[in-house]
Amino acid sequence: MQLKKSKGSILAEAEIEEQVDDKGATNVVKLIEDQNSYINSSKERMYDVITTFVNNAENSIALNDFSQIFKTVTVWIKFRPRKLGQYVEIMKERTTETTISIRYSDDMYIPHIKEVLKEHKIKMISNDHNVMVCKTPRPSDQDIEIAVQKIKVLANTARSSLSQGKAAEIQRLQSALKNEYLEAKDVKYAISSIEKIEEKFAAVLTYSRLEAEKKISGKLFRYDSNEAKDLHLALTRRVKKNSVIEI
């Protein structure tokens, strides 16, 4: 029995290319469309879980995040207390892994800026046209470990979402069987396929987690198990060869 495609399917005619955002976070999965709408739906759900994890790991976790250092600092301006962040800002678009650029509205704020920089062990490299370019300190091993633990928490949340997506789709199938919309053999096939799909996405999640940890840890990166190492190396070879992992 052939099932209809889901009305809101996000799959392209045969497959969908991997998503890459401007900062390089990449979902390495390429979805291959199935004739079964329930299987397609489960793929879409799980694809979104991986995309969300990759983007969060890339953009939400940063070492030495100095973007808010001026926001809470109170200074006295003309005998009145003011938040330094009203007059001084970090230029996010010019921030790099080793430097930050600070824009200020008046030279009168320079002493206050330097005081904050000293507190955070940030060194000024240049100061021109009301913009300071500063070198940020290297992250400590503890900073790196905290960031890695945050990635693991995101991955655990994503893993739960994969399981929930599978369970929701299986429940839909069981309801369809109960209401005699589908035949038992079709439901059995779909459930078996969805379970295998979840396993594949779980493997991709582990790969993506380790990629994020490796990027942020540098020389401190360590695998947490031999199983994780074997899986990561195997999928790394596949991605290098094919650019994507088809599911």
SS3 call for 110? helix
pLDDT at site 58: 86
One-letter amino acid of 233: L
Query: Domain locations in the chain?
Result: 15-61+140-246, 74-135
d(CA 235, CA 192): 23
pLDDT at site 60: 73
pLDDT at site 180: 86
Environment class of 81 (CB within 10 Å of its CB; exposed 0-12, middle 13-18, buried 19+): exposed
Taking the model in full, what pTM does it have? 0.75
| Long-range interactions of 225-232: CB distance < 8 A, separation 24+ | 231/203, 231/206, 231/207, 232/206, 232/207
pLDDT at site 24: 54
pLDDT at site 143: 87
pLDDT at site 159: 98
CATH ID of 15-61+140-246, from 2.40.128.720, 1.10.132.20, 1.20.140.10, 3.40.50.720: 1.10.132.20
pLDDT at site 67: 87
* pLDDT < 70: residue spans in the chain: 1-25
